[in-house]
Amino acid sequence: MGIWYYVSSASISWVANRENPLNDTRGTISINSYGNIVLMDGNGQVIWSSNATSSPVNTTAQLLDSGSLVLRDISSGSTLWESHRHPVDSFLPTMRVSHNPRTGARVGLNSWRTFHDPGRGNFTSGLHVMSVPQIYIWKNGVPLWRSGPWNGRILTGVTGMYSVYVDGFSVAQEEDGTYYFTRNFRQKFISRNFLNADGVLVEAGWDEQKNDWNVTWTAPANDCDLYNKCGPFSVCYIKDTPICSCLRGLTFIKVPDFMQWSSGLETECSSQCLANCSCLAYGYDPGIGCMFWSGSLIDVQKFAGDAGSDFYVRVSYLEMDKEKSNKVVIVVSVIASLVAASICLFLAWWMCKRKGQRRSLAFDSTGEKGRSESEIVLRSDMDSVKIEELPLYSFEMLATATNNFDLSNKLGMGGFGPVYKGKLANGNEIAVKRLSAASGQGLEEFMNEVVVISKLQHRNLVRLLGCCVEKEEKMLIYEYMQNRSLDVFLFADKTQDVLDWRKRFNIMEGIGRGLLYLHRDSRLRIIHRDLKPSNILLDEDWNPKISDFGMARIFGGNQDQANTGKVVGTYGYMAPEYAMGGRFSEKSDVFSFGVLVLEIISGRRNTSFYNDEFSLGLLGYAWKLWNEDNVADFIDKRISSPTFQAEIVRCLHIGLLCVQEFPINRPTISTVLSMLSSEIVDLQLPEHPGFTDRWSRSHVGSSSSTQTRSANNITHTVLEGDN
């Protein structure tokens, strides 16, 4: 008894009786008097049973488009059993492979015995959580391959894995401590992931022109993919000869196994490791934080591309000194050319400066003649931006205000550093954003934020009070928001109802007004690029203020869109054209605003919401309920009220218009505000949202119990004997 892809009968995805095949060709599948699915041979003997019930229950069996065979209680509609909870060798959409590090319980894949025998083979694959989730392949319980740690978006040791949007994978944790790895359901693509009989994980997509599967990824793919190929304290690089070499600090690395981690800035990782005598190495990933190793450094692999993480190994001073001495000759031999090059660069800079082409990016607070000492000049790639009357705070003053940046005053993490609450000597409360020392990326975003926000004044934008620039310390000082950020209350305990509908509506309007100012009414045209609940601050009167302009971009007067090869921001709030192609515009911010609207209405976080039954994210779930005229199920129970029902549904309608897949279909923010204020009464019908599959009402649900063929031609279940 099996399930396979309808496009290819040879592509079997699940087998019920893999260890107990039928001995004849007269097998039957039925639901017995207890409500269980049973497979019987020609003599009426039960070969396999779902064993979901022990007392009579009226049930129905259904084959879902995701490839899962589901047994449901007809009276209650609850799921009693499903094949996805008992995987074989294939990792199907909405299936979960899981691991509970507390109990050791694990659900994973098990290979076939041979390519023609579905019995249990020697290879297993699944999730393993020691400190951070990773995917492993084991041969008879011994590790064969490791994916590298999950950083919230990708498995860092898997080359070519770009994001949950592209690959459709995600990791989440349940209340009992179980971690699970799942794959989203994409109706437009027929693909399969499975562990073959040789212990290789395979990803393949169906090629309709060739009428065959096209293999897109395998693991392990080469000798360096094999677990601990080179032994401890060695690194494997497939392009080297020999492939194994001694371990040094490297970039683009699949970091070693058996790591520990802690949250913190990249610059804090080094000091934490040096302060611990047992720390042998450290690494950093923005989605994980600091990673530390104190035992043998095993299974280290270097990649040729941009996969992996940077990795630093602790060495003795004598070893460093020896290495330096070996480089003396090289250093001396090039020093003359460096001096000459420096002179040439200086002359070129001086000439460019005289021509008005300011290419440098630096601070000047030296107090030139005719300039106040409190004035800061930033020279950008485009022109010189003067910021007058911006107070300069001393490091000592801010250290005192924050009690030496005590953790008890830490409000959270901004885009490029921690944010602390402080209290000045005059009693005024402030928020201090402290950037990581010596971070080139942090400096760039710091200067970008100063340039952008110092030119902006609006009641729905956070106000910059000043900055601190002393040696390696760079800090921004903002007005303090008593009610912190929107996410604190929006996604809080469902029993709390601090944000009633009036407050939520006013917050949506305020965010919209702030965006309108950025896009149309300010001196500069600004695209924010990182609009999300944690970047919406709330004052004591619950007025919203947009914050964190480190990712913002300034547009020219006639510029409608721009492209970037460096996509920054937060997945889940990025527009499709930006996340996938690097194109951004005002409509990108409108998409993010639409996601915010849907989150405000539902009280659910887009980046963590997932509907198991229909394999939908928050946007897809809203779209499904909208098409079913069942939006009441989408509305947060804390604000659900007949008094506001019509207004809430209208706002949901507006939110869906904002998150449409194509930018040309989305309204401008000025039009959105007119819709919210009901100046525009009649709203057009929304098209399908971005990052969701196109589907109609006829696609809602799954294949009926009277059909064997699924709605999207992917799965098919019949009885068949082994070859």
Residue of 467, 597, 464, 486 whose CA lies nearest to 539? 486
Reported as a pLDDT band with limits 50, 70 and 90, residue 609 is low
Q: Is the model's pLDDT at 398 over the cut of 70?
A: yes
Strand order in 473-479's β-sheet? 410-414, 417-423, 429-434, 473-479, 464-470
Q: Give the Cα separation of 387 and 469 in Å (integer).
A: 14
Q: Is the model's pLDDT at 201 over the cut of 80?
A: yes
Contact 587, 575 (CB under 8 A): yes
Prediction pTM value:
0.51
In this structure, is the dihedral angle defined by the CA atoms of residues 703, 709, 715 and 718, taken in order, positive or negative? positive
The predicted pLDDT at position 358 comes to 34
The predicted pLDDT at position 692 comes to 59
The predicted pLDDT at position 665 comes to 94
The one-letter code for the residue type at 153 is R
Q: What tokens were used for 255? A: 């970091």
The predicted pLDDT at position 503 comes to 95
Q: Give the Cα separation of 399 and 402 in Å (integer).
A: 5
Q: Is the model's pLDDT at 38 over the cut of 90?
A: yes
For the ranges 147-161, 419-433, 551-565, the lowest mean pLDDT is seen at: 551-565
The one-letter code for the residue type at 42 is G
Q: What tokens were used for 28? A: 């039957």
Question: Cβ of 55: how many Cβ atoms within 10 Å?
Answer: 6
Q: Give the Cα separation of 681 and 677 in Å (integer).
A: 9
Reported as a pLDDT band with limits 50, 70 and 90, residue 717 is very low
The predicted pLDDT at position 7 comes to 83
More confident of the two residues 470 and 80:
80
Strand order in 133-139's β-sheet? 109-112, 120-129, 133-139, 142-146
The predicted pLDDT at position 125 comes to 96
The predicted pLDDT at position 695 comes to 39
Q: Is the model's pLDDT at 84 over the cut of 90?
A: yes
The predicted pLDDT at position 669 comes to 95
The predicted pLDDT at position 9 comes to 66
Written as one string, the DSSP assignment of 67-118 is S-EEEEETTT--EEEEGGGS--SEE-TT-EEEE-TTT--EE-EEEESSSS--
Mean pLDDT for 577-602 is 91
SS3 171: strand
* Bond into 391 cis (ω within 30): no
The one-letter code for the residue type at 688 is H
The predicted pLDDT at position 262 comes to 79
The predicted pLDDT at position 438 comes to 41
The predicted pLDDT at position 334 comes to 56
Catalytic site positions = 530
Contact 267, 440 (CB under 8 A): no
pLDDT tens digits for range 656-700:
999 999 999 999 999 999 999 887 878 999 998 986 554 333 333
Q: Give the Cα separation of 475 and 446 in Å (integer).
A: 8
The predicted pLDDT at position 287 comes to 79
Q: Is the model's pLDDT at 191 over the cut of 70?
A: yes
Contact 652, 598 (CB under 8 A): yes
Q: Is the model's pLDDT at 336 over the cut of 70?
A: no
The predicted pLDDT at position 501 comes to 94
Choose from 269-283, 295-309, 361-375, 564-578 the range with maximum mean pLDDT: 269-283
Q: Which residues, including other chains, have CB under 8 Å from residue 236's CB and lie 6 or more apart? A: 223, 224, 229, 230, 243, 244, 300, 301, 302
Q: Is the model's pLDDT at 626 over the cut of 90?
A: yes
The predicted pLDDT at position 162 comes to 56
Residue of 391, 384, 550 whose CA lies nearest to 462? 550
**β-strands 300-302, 234-236: how paired?**
parallel
Q: Give the Cα separation of 7 and 201 in Å (integer).
A: 21
Domains of the chain, start order = 2-223 (no CATH), 229-318 (3.50.4), 359-480 (3.30.200.20), 487-699 (1.10.510.10)
Contact 19, 120 (CB under 8 A): yes
Q: Give the Cα separation of 491 and 572 in Å (integer).
A: 15
The predicted pLDDT at position 712 comes to 36
The one-letter code for the residue type at 37 is I
Residue of 538, 431, 530 whose CA lies nearest to 490? 538
Q: What tokens were used for 463? A: 């106000």
Helices (H), 359-500: 395-401, 440-453, 486-490
Reported as a pLDDT band with limits 50, 70 and 90, residue 151 is confident
SS3 19: coil
The predicted pLDDT at position 60 comes to 93
Mean pLDDT for 180-188 is 75
The predicted pLDDT at position 294 comes to 84
Q: Is the model's pLDDT at 492 over the cut of 50?
A: yes
The predicted pLDDT at position 127 comes to 93
The predicted pLDDT at position 697 comes to 34
Reported as a pLDDT band with limits 50, 70 and 90, residue 120 is very high
Q: Give the Cα separation of 453 and 459 in Å (integer).
A: 13
Residue that is written with structure tokens 């490839």 in the block? 67
Element (H, E) at 322: helix 317-326
In this structure, is the dihedral angle defined by the CA atoms of residues 550, 556, 560 and 565, taken in order, positive or negative? negative
Give the whole-number percent of the chain exceeding pLDDT 70.
77
Contact 624, 653 (CB under 8 A): no
Reported as a pLDDT band with limits 50, 70 and 90, residue 447 is confident
Element (H, E) at 29: strand 28-31
Written as one string, the DSSP assignment of 458-493 is -TTBPPEEEEEEETTEEEEEEE--TT-BHHHHHTS-
Give the whole-number percent of the chain exceeding pLDDT 90.
35
Q: Which residues, including other chains, have CB under 8 Å from residue 285's CB and lie 6 or more apart? A: 149, 151, 156, 291, 309
Long-range own/partner contacts, residues 340-346 (CB < 8 A, 24 or more apart): none
The predicted pLDDT at position 559 comes to 60
Q: What tokens were used for 376? A: 């800061």
Contact 299, 250 (CB under 8 A): no
Residue of 95, 73, 71 whose CA lies nearest to 81? 71
The predicted pLDDT at position 713 comes to 35
For the ranges 349-353, 385-389, 532-536, 593-597, the lowest mean pLDDT is seen at: 385-389
Contact 255, 321 (CB under 8 A): no
Reported as a pLDDT band with limits 50, 70 and 90, residue 716 is very low
For the ranges 230-239, 304-313, 507-516, the lowest mean pLDDT is seen at: 304-313
List 460's β-bridge partners, or say none. none
The predicted pLDDT at position 390 comes to 64
Choose from 85-99, 438-452, 454-468 the range with maximum mean pLDDT: 85-99
Residue of 602, 566, 343 whose CA lies nearest to 491? 602
Please state, rounded to an integer, the average pLDDT across all residues of the chain. Answer: 80
* Bond into 242 cis (ω within 30): yes
The one-letter code for the residue type at 652 is L
Mean pLDDT for 9-37 is 89
Q: DSSP character for 702?
A: -
Q: How far is CA 248 from the centre of its chain?
A: 30
The predicted pLDDT at position 255 comes to 85
Q: What tokens were used for 120? A: 């249990």
Long-range own/partner contacts, residues 420-424 (CB < 8 A, 24 or more apart): 421/480, 422/398, 422/477, 422/480, 424/397
